[in-house]
Amino acid sequence: MPTVNAVAAANSTATASKSATGLAANFETFITLLTAQLRAQDPLSPLDTKDFTNQLVQFTGVEQQMKTNDLLSSLAQNFSLNAGSMAVSYLGKQATATTDLAALNNGAAKWTYNLPTSASEVTLKVFDANNRLVRSVSGNLAQGGHDFNWDGVTNSGGRAVDGQYKLVVEAKNATGSTIAVPISQTGIISDVDLSGDEPKVKIGGTSVALSAITKIALVAN
């Protein structure tokens, strides 16, 4: 069942609020000192006009900085709310996200890699959570997108336990140059986590940042 985790507020909002509080305290201190200075000045030798003007300029600068911080804080809150609302609206939909991680579940895991050009050599390597190589096979050499379905069988012939695994695609062209190969994951969004700076969604058991999503589609009935 799709779920939403909204335990904590965005850290950026808390940081902005803390900064604004500190600036407000400095602003009030500045006003208090300036007022006291004006009251205590000698009527026969008033504050120099130049000095007074400089202090007013400082006063205006502090005031503008406070307004700017308030505006930035408001924008950060609106952005966080909009991103959270967008993430929640994706629940139950099919998504494609850029990630090299996939969950092995009941002996099955799937990645999609996209060769930008044809290759002369492609090796697919699967690593476990401890960054240990567990499976290595040859990949498709043709240009375009290719699915890699892993059945959980390791290089030693055993069975890998369910969990998160990472795919590394090593590809070279005819001249031996390395080809950068993007990897993605496609599945149904089943969970949304709003507790961090950026919302995260769970696709096929793998948690990815909202910004990593490249495609959203309705699930066919």
* Residue-wise pLDDT tens digits, 28-56: 766 676 677 667 666 656 555 566 566 66
DSSP SS3 for 96:
strand
- In this predicted structure, what is the pLDDT of residue 47? 57
Nearest to 69 by CA among 10, 32, 18: 18
Task: Give residue-wise pLDDT tens across range 156-189.
Answer: 999 999 999 999 999 999 999 999 999 999 999 9
- In this predicted structure, what is the pLDDT of residue 154? 97
Nearest to 62 by CA among 14, 15, 29: 29
State the average pLDDT for the chain.
81
**pLDDT at residue 14 tops 50:** no
Q: Is pTM, for the whole model, over 0.85?
A: no
- In this predicted structure, what is the pLDDT of residue 35? 73
- In this predicted structure, what is the pLDDT of residue 15? 47
